[in-house]
Structure 1
Amino acid sequence: MLTSLQGSWCLVLGASSGIGAAIARGLAREGVHIAGVHFDTGARTEEVAAVVDGIRAYGVEARFFNANAASRATRDRLVPEIAGLTGDAGGIRILVHSLAFGTLVPFLPRDGWEKPLTGRQLEMTLDVMAHSLVYWTQDLAAAKLLRPGSKVYAMTSAGVVQALPSYGAVSAAKSALESHVRQLACELAPHGVAVNALRAGVTLTPALRRIPEHAGYVARAAENNPHGRLTRPEDVAEAVAVLSRTDSSWLTGNTIGVDGGELHAAAGAWG
């Protein structure tokens, strides 16, 4: 049975740009209030303010917090604030994990990269892009902010099954993230909470542009996608809205492709 999202709350981790910002805007259009956590320097103050203003233009509340979402201190501070914001609505209807901060260094030295990946870099990447999903879910569940019908989405990528010279640490983090999704789905099933990973196709976001090999990767993806174009952040936002309009938790524990068939298209077959 489909339900309205009007008046509910979504917490977006990584809300200030790219797919996270698009999801926030898309859900605001559905009448969803947005709490966003982002980690930006002062140079992006105006850009972030524009995102917030765009969300509020739909007549909903928007509260953004500039803090390190992977920090325990941030969770300790913000979870009570979020509880105060969302209490009248019954807690968090939708949690979106869209943190895209990791090390882009090969495991071994090669031309252009004289220093290989360090243990600290690998641990940081997995902590931010994977393990933080578990920690936020634990804290929100402990605060009783996840209720029957709540949805948890984690943004993964085709990088879990592909290799790029600089992408090893992020690929490992995305693989761990999908594993965490499966485990959380099983543990939250008795509470009526669904947990899924969304595998967006290649999408031109600030995070993608930081990948040294992104230009060639983007060109191949655009050529191979059966739709004849790249995935847009709005495509992912629409999927989140559609999947969230039910109280059912039966669709859970999956990695759902939101890529227009890109991953499964044979190279050159759709040009």
Structure 2
Amino acid sequence: MLKSLEGSWCLVLGASSGIGRAVALGLAEEGVHVAGVHFDTAAREDEVAQLVDDIRAKGVQARFFNANAAARATRARLLPELAELTGHGGGVRILVHSLAFGTLVPFLPREGWDKQLATRQMEMTLDVMAHSLVYWTQDLVAADLLRPGSKVYALTSAGTSQHLPSYGAVSAAKSALESHVRQLACELATSGIAVNALRAGTTVTPALQRIPEHAAYVARAAENNPHRRLTRPEDVADAVALLSRSESSWLTGNTIGVDGAELNAAAGAWG
């Protein structure tokens, strides 16, 4: 049975740009109050402030925190504030993990690259883009902020099974993220909490544009997609809203493609 999301709270990790931003705006359209964690320099202060104003203009509350979402100290500092915001209104109905900060360096030396991947770079990439999902979920459960009917979403990519010269550490992180989703889904099943990974199609975001090989990759994806366009952040936001309307936790532990059949059509070209 599908229910309205109006009046509930979401927590978006990576809320200031790309898919996280679109999800925050999309859920606000559904009447969902938005708590967002982002990590930006002062140069983007006005842009983030405008986003918060745009969310509030939809008639909902918005509280954004500029902090490193992967840091233990951030979780310790924000949990009491999140409990105060959401605890009396059903907790965090929707948790979205959209952290896209990782190292884009090949594993081994190659032409055009000065250095190979270092240990600290691999560990940082895995910690930010994968392990932080587990730590946030642990802390939210301990604080009784994830409750029956809550939904947890992690943003993954086709990079788990595709190769790009600079993408090895991020690919490993996304693979670990999908594994964490399956494990969390099993452990939270009896609590009525669903956990799924959303595999967005190729989406032009700031994170994608940082990949050295992104231009050629985007061109191939646009050619392959049967919809004759790339995935947009709003496509993913629509999926989050749709899936979140159900109280059921039976759809859980999956990697769900939100890509317009791009991955299925990748072997051919659709003109």
Is this a same-fold pair by TM over 0.5? Answer: yes
Check conservation: 2:7, 2:31, Cα contact below 8 A: yes
- CA distance, structure 1, for counterparts of residue 262 and residue 156 of structure 2: 14
Q: Percent identity?
A: 82
In structure 1, the partner of 2:185 is 185
- CA distance, structure 1, for counterparts of residue 140 and residue 268 of structure 2: 45
In structure 2, the partner of 1:256 is 256
In structure 2, the partner of 1:30 is 30
Equivalences for residues 5-154 of structure 1 within 5 A: 5-154=5-154
Q: How far 1:270 sits from its partner (Å)?
A: 1.1
Deviations 1:143-179 (A, max 9, x none): 0000000000000000000000000000000000000
In structure 1, the partner of 2:166 is 166
Q: How far 1:51 sits from its partner (Å)?
A: 1.1
Gaps of 5+ in 1: none
Gaps of 5+ in 2: none
When the two structures are superposed, what TM-score results if normalisation uses the length of structure 2? 0.99
Q: Which runs of 4+ in 1 moved over 2 A?
A: 266-269
Q: How far 1:92 sits from its partner (Å)?
A: 0.3
The amino acid across from 1:176 in the alignment is A
- CA distance, structure 1, for counterparts of residue 170 and residue 212 of structure 2: 13
The amino acid across from 2:184 in the alignment is L
3-state DSSP of counterpart to 2:70: coil
3-state DSSP of counterpart to 1:148: coil
- CA distance, structure 1, for counterparts of residue 121 and residue 74 of structure 2: 21
3-state DSSP of counterpart to 2:260: coil
- CA distance, structure 2, for counterparts of residue 141 and residue 227 of structure 1: 39
3-state DSSP of counterpart to 1:99: coil
- CA distance, structure 2, for counterparts of residue 239 and residue 64 of structure 1: 23
Check conservation: 2:221, 2:266, Cα contact below 8 A: no
The amino acid across from 1:21 in the alignment is R
- CA distance, structure 1, for counterparts of residue 43 and residue 64 of structure 2: 16
The answer on 1:210 being equivalent to 2:210 is yes
- CA distance, structure 1, for counterparts of residue 122 and residue 109 of structure 2: 15
3-state DSSP of counterpart to 1:59: coil
- CA distance, structure 1, for counterparts of residue 265 and residue 222 of structure 2: 11
- CA distance, structure 2, for counterparts of residue 165 and residue 38 of structure 1: 28
- CA distance, structure 2, for counterparts of residue 220 and residue 269 of structure 1: 9
Deviations 1:157-216 (A, max 9, x none): 000000000000000000000000000000000000000000000000000000000000
- CA distance, structure 2, for counterparts of residue 246 and residue 268 of structure 1: 35
